[in-house]
Structures are given as C-alpha cells and as structure tokens.
Structure 1
Amino acid sequence: MQKFFTVIGGMGSLATESYIHLINERTQTSKDQDYMDYILVNHATVPDRTAHIMDHSKPSFLPPLLEDIKQQSTLNPAFMVIICNTAHYYYKELQAATDIPLIHMPHLAVTTMKKKYPNAKVGLIATKGTLADHIYEKEIKDAGLEMTMGDQDIKDEVESLIYDDIKVKGKMNKEKYFHILKRMHDEFKCDVIVLGCTELSFAQEKAPDHPYAVIDAQSIIADKTIELETKMRKNEEINFDKIY
C-alpha cells in the first residue's frame, strides 16, 4: 500500500472492533475498492493502562506502545490513531518517538465539543486511570467549560460497566449505561456527557437510544479518520497542525 494509516488498538479489542465498524459503516462505498486502506495493530497484551497510572509499580504500557509506534513508522503511514483514551497518558512520549502525526483523541473530542456546546456544563465519565491522569479534565478546563465527574457511586458504576461487563464478560449492560447517563444529567445537571473511554463508546454504539447528549471520542475520531483518509486519497495536502 502506498497511502494508508495505522490503527493501534486492542485496548480493549471490543472497543477497537467498534471503531473499525464505525469507519467501515460510515465510509461511502459502492464497491470493495471504496473502503479505506489501513493497518490494524490489535495489541491486546498491552498492560492495563489504569492499573499502571494508579500504581507505577505495575507494568507500564509505554514500552509496548513505543514498540508499536516505531514498527509502524518504518512503513510510513500518513497518520496514526490510538484507540484508547487512557493510553494518551503517554501521548507526548509516543509522538516524540515518530515523525508520523499521531491524532490526539481526547483533544479532538474536546475541541469538537467546544464548537458544538460552547457554554455547556460538561460531565466526564471514564476509567479511574483517565480521571486520575487529568487528560480530559485539563482539556475541558482549558476550553473554559464547567465540568463535573459526578460522585463516587457514579465512578464505581462506570468502572463496573467498563471492566465487569464489557472487558470481562464481553457484554453491554444497557440498563447500567443508561442509569449512569441519567444520574449525570438529572442530579449533576450536565448538558453534555463526555464518554472518556472507548468501552463507553462501545456502549454508545450498542445502545444509542437514550435522550442524553454525549460526546463520543471514538465516534469523533472515526469521522476525523474518514475525513483525513479522503483528503489523502484525493492527494490533498493535510495540515495536521489545524485538524483539531
């Protein structure tokens, strides 16, 4: 392949599968050749991101991701995406390891939200690791938006949905997902809720039939992927400094 991009996923695999499904479903096609050219790295054995962020004595996910970045860079893709919000904890180190543009999923999600909901009160639901590393919190506050992460019960319920239901059982718990969104909206008065974990994006794909406004980082990066690949295929110049 001459023109393609790289997807570094497997964190977890169901979330990566959801992203691939989105880009395939949303690509306008009339034949096989209309689909996008990409390489998927489903690195499922990358150590748990939250476990390491919460306790640095636990195995780091940085070395295996650096290995992926360096391996894929030798193939010269046009750009890369990492389908895991929490993995962006080491975004600077990963981008520094390559000249290939690495799209920043949380930054893309928040800049998109700022344009769509410029005065919103924002709710953030994510893994304990993403909450602890403040990736989304900093992005949201830098955008000048008010933010809440709910209470400990919500955080525990989100963690249970992500790990107990989706990562462990491989199943979507629609009732639990809707209950989380309802509490964030009704009790914490959130105008929009950021899904700061790709497992939550998986939940949204499987159960979108609710009345709550969400910012789905995975859905947003899927659309951006299609936009960039379309420009690449048309030989249009891409200014990666202005894609957010």
Structure 2
Amino acid sequence: MNKLGVIGGLGPMATAYFYQLVVQMTDAASDQEHIETIIYSRPSTPDRTKFILGKSDEDPMPFLLDAGRKLKRQGANVIAIPCITAHYFQKRLEKTLGTRVIHAIEETGKYLKSKGITVVGIMATDGTVESRLFQTILEKYGIACVIPSEKNQAKVMHIIYDDVKSGRPVEMDLFEEVSDKLFAQGAQTVLLGCTELSLIKRDYQIGKGFLDVMEVLARQAVLACGKLKEEYNNLITE
C-alpha cells in the first residue's frame, strides 16, 4: 500500500476536512485497513493568490518544496495538496521531488469527461481563475468553462477570505447569486474550485449540480493508496 503525504495548512480547516474525506471514502473494515498518512501542516506558506497575481514577492514554492521533501523522507510516495490554487506549482513540485503529486484539476477533467459534462462553471480564487488553471486543463478534455463576472468574482473572493478563512458564517445569498448566474450561462455543473468552498458544501445545503474538486482529490488519493467505497464514484450533487 502506498503511503500518502499531505502538504497542508493552506488553510488548516480545509486540510482537516480533506483528511476526513480520505477516511470516509476508504473502504476499510478496521483501523489497520486505513491509509497510512503523514500530514505536514504549513500555514506559514505565503498566500498563493497574491503571489500568482504579482501582488506579493513571497514565493510559496520553497515552502511547498520543503514540506514535500520532509514528507518524502518519511516515506510518502504519493502527495496531495488540499489547496487548489497551489496546483499552479504542481508540475515544478512533482518534477523537483521526483514523487507523484496528485493533480486535482487534471483528475477533475478526467472525471467530468467520464460523466459526459461539456460545460462547467468555475468558483475559485482570483489566482486560480486568472492563471487559467482550470480552463487550460479542461479544454484538453473538450470541456468549456464559464467564469463569474468581475463583480461576481469579487463575491467569491469575499466568501473565501472574509467568511470561510475568517471563521465567519457564510453569506449564502452571495454564493447562490454567483452559482445561479453560472448555471444560467449554460454550466451543466459548477465546480467548487477552492478548498474553502468545499467547507460550504460540507456545512450547507447547496443543491444539485455541484462538483467539489477537493472530493475529486480525496477520491484519487484513496484510489492511489487504498480501496475506494463504491458510493464515492458519483461526486456530483443530486
């Protein structure tokens, strides 16, 4: 069985939920059948969005690389990062470490294609949207992407940073305004493309047609390191 390493703390609550998902998704009849997991929580890692957008000179890459090397030294041979924006650094990180780093967005593309989805809406950070992380990869799978207007993208960032990351109640009216507009623009599925948004799905009723990218990441981690419960083959909310 492969040993899972997790570069966490980006943010801490999302990391805790990611591990919960891995445990929930694993088909195990005893403690001993669960996946051996090493979590390195590194909340001091600089803000990914600010760096990607050129609003900060603090490069997250050395922090991610240091965490990855420590996990590898402890025997991790599959690594997951429960922060979607951090996947901007995935290719460099994987190449430098020489260890598999699961690419949540690539796996999302494969999953959507297997379900026959051709148009998706994206709710994610400015860094993820503006760097075209989703758009570039999903287009390879024949999937078109709809993104929020500038006004609605500001609402998404407010929800992520001022609500979830700040530990405040989520303004669900804003969440619904953004997602409803994406569906109206033709999205068959709306992607929760930030791990803070995953926490909204955990805590609130959000309706049908949503795919949590962190659930895709957790599912792939289980497939790589253990045995998946069959019920987690369908992740799009109904």
Query: In the superposition, relative to structure 1, how do residues 170 and 93 fare at CA in structure 2: closer, same or farther (>3 Å)?
Result: farther
Unaligned runs of 5+ in 1: 232-244
Question: Within the alignment, does 1:229 sit opposite 2:225 as a pair?
Answer: yes
Question: Does 1:159 pair with 2:157?
Answer: yes
Secondary structure at the aligned position of 2:165 is classed as helix
Task: Report the alpha carbon displacement of residue 168 of structure 1 after superposing the two structures with TM.
Answer: 1.6
Do 1:80 and 1:101's aligned partners in 2 also have CA atoms closer than 8 Å? Answer: yes
Distance 2:89 2:48 in 1: 10
Match status 1:83 vs 2:82: yes
Task: State the partner residue of 1:55.
Answer: 54
Letter in 2 for 1:62: M
**2:92 paired with 1:93:** yes
CA-CA distance at 1:189 after TM superposition:
2.3
Q: Is the 8 A contact 1:70 1:97 kept in 2?
A: no
Alignment map for 1:13-162 (pairs within 5 Å): 13-55=12-54, 57-118=56-117, 120-162=118-160
Q: Give the counterpart letter for 2:143 in structure 1.
A: L
Letter in 2 for 1:128: D
Change (3 A) 1:172 1:30: farther
Q: Output the TM-score relative to the length of structure 2.
A: 0.88
Following TM superposition, by how much is the alpha carbon of 1:56 offset from its aligned partner in structure 2, in angstroms? Answer: 6.0
Distance 2:55 2:92 in 1: 16
| Larger mean Cα displacement after TM superposition, 125-134 or 48-57 | 48-57
Deviation at 1:180, TM superposition (A): 2.2
Q: Is the counterpart of residue 205 in structure 1 residue 202 in structure 2?
A: yes
2:102 touches 2:220 (CA, 8 Å); kept in 1? no
CA distance in 2, matches of 1:73, 1:168: 32
1:99 shift after superposition:
2.0
CA distance in 2, matches of 1:216, 1:107: 14
Is there any run of 5+ residues in structure 2 with no aligned partner, and where? 228-238
Tell me if structure 1 keeps the 8 A contact 2:2–2:226. Answer: no
What corresponds to 2:235 in structure 1? none
- Report deviation, 1:3: 4.9
> Could you tell me how far 1:132 is from its partner in structure 2?
1.5
Name the SS of the counterpart of 1:39 in structure 2: strand
* Aligned residues: CA RMSD: 1.8
Deviation of the 1:75 alpha carbon: 2.2
**Which of 193, 212, 225 pairs up with 1:216?**
212
* Whole-angstrom CA distance in 2 between matches of 1:229 and 1:30: 16
Residues 1:170 and 1:31: Cα distance change in structure 2 (over 3 Å): farther
**1:55 CA drift (Å):** 1.1
Deviation at 1:57, TM superposition (A): 4.4
AA at the equivalent of 1:199:
E
Partner of 1:76, secondary structure, is coil
1:87 Cα deviation from its structure 2 partner: 0.7
> Residue 171 of structure 1: CA displacement?
4.0
Secondary structure, counterpart of 2:225 in structure 1: helix
> Within 2, Cα distance between the matches of 1:170 and 1:93?
34
Does the Cα contact within 8 Å between 1:109 and 1:216 map onto a contact in 2?
no
